[in-house]
Amino acid sequence: MAMDKNFSDRIERIGSPRRRIPLTAERDARLSLHLPDSFLEFLRTFGFGDYFDRKLQYCDPTEFSPVLALVFGNDPEFSHKDCFVVGHSAFGRLVCWSKRHDHFEIDLVDMRLSSSKLAPTQLVLPPHLANRQRSTDPNILARSLLPYESKDYEEFDARDQPMFERCRAMHGSLERTDCYGYFPALATVGLDSAMRHVENIKRVAALEHFAILAQLGTFRLMWLERGQYTAVRVIG
């Protein structure tokens, strides 16, 4: 199967993932039950690699299923049984796919779930685009599982300055199973805390750290309007 043009065009612009772990036959068979063909073909070609020095790391969805279970609890719309983490950012943003909800993301640091299907960003569009319908084709929607540019998965400090490269310089580059975590976690001191800076970052094991973050507070489905997030409902 040839790679979807949406994917090949994006890869031509941003490059292919690095440090790839090939997709095994067992994983291929398992993931083909849950992921769109277009994204699966991307994984068949490139495996579980990373972009931008592991600012975004792709992974086997089974790795972080326990974290989803902690975030979702008994939520009526979200379940770790049919939602899957296909990648994560260096600081704890989970890139997820579900046949019901397509692409959505969970920011474990800010305890926020964003979904362009359930809580679309409110945009002021020019007249010729205002009535354009959102695609329902999963193979088209899945292109959003690839980054558009490096800053898509950046983390910003209390002064709104990018942190990733400074964290690499201060704390070392990430290995595949690592992440950068705040100590103390921002959920315990306030999301707008002045503690949000590189000196309070440590390089730690991603799975364990994400599991801790998932239990520190209440997550909310949020929608974005004019740069401000508004809560739609509590998750769980």
Joined tokens for residue 32: 């083909």
**How far apart (Å, rounded) are the C-alpha atoms in residues 92 and 108?**
5
pLDDT at 185 over 90: yes
**How far apart (Å, rounded) are the C-alpha atoms in residues 43 and 219?**
30
Strands of the chain (E only): list them.
Answer: 18-21, 48-51, 56-58, 83-89, 93-98, 102-107, 112-115, 178-182, 201-205, 220-225, 228-234
Task: Domain ranges for the chain, please list them.
Answer: 5-234
pLDDT at 1 over 90: no
Residue 2 or residue 230, greater confidence: 230
pLDDT class of 71 with cuts at 50, 70, 90: very high
Whole-prediction pTM: 0.93
**How far apart (Å, rounded) are the C-alpha atoms in residues 197 and 163?**
8
pLDDT at 41 over 60: yes
**How far apart (Å, rounded) are the C-alpha atoms in residues 183 and 106?**
20
